[in-house]
Structure 1
Amino acid sequence: MSEHGLLGMTAIITAGLTMALGALGAALGESRIGAAAMDALARQPDEASTITRNQFVALAMVESTAIFCLVISLILLFANPFIGGAGG
């Protein structure tokens, strides 16, 4: 196998692992945020608007990590300078 093929295969495997771990981490984080928000709403229903607002901010921050993983995977697959992607 040539060096070019080895680098391409490594990039594909790394991109897959990046997306898998990024999606898993985001899913676990979002489920914990949802559970904590439901618990907080059950304890203090009068604070629903504040809890919901803070929940959405936290969800957006957690989801951004999954988006960063997606961007890294796309760079590895399509714009990888080591294997002559779109940019190289």
Structure 2
Amino acid sequence: MKIKTVNNYYTDENTYIVYDENTKNGLVIDPGYKCDGILKAAQDDGVNIKYVLITHCHYDIFQIWNSFVKKQALNLFPAIRRA
């Protein structure tokens, strides 16, 4: 398993790409402001992003979700539940 950190300079937050080095299948954790930068970082390592994991409720994370859906078929796993 490999973890790649992508910094979102506009919001100064990190996004993580986690993937299997053998299959190159991976997931994105908390995508931030710029979808293209995250997809390029994955592409640079030959990663096929299959899933997106959202761990918290910030506007930038939910705002970018549409961009991911338009560019790549993904599965969304929000780690959010109602109390």
Q: TM-score, normalised by structure 1?
A: 0.23
Q: Using CA pairs under 8 Å that are at least 6 residues apart, name the structure with larger relative contact order, 1 or 2.
A: 1
Higher helix share: 1
Structure of greater Rg: 1
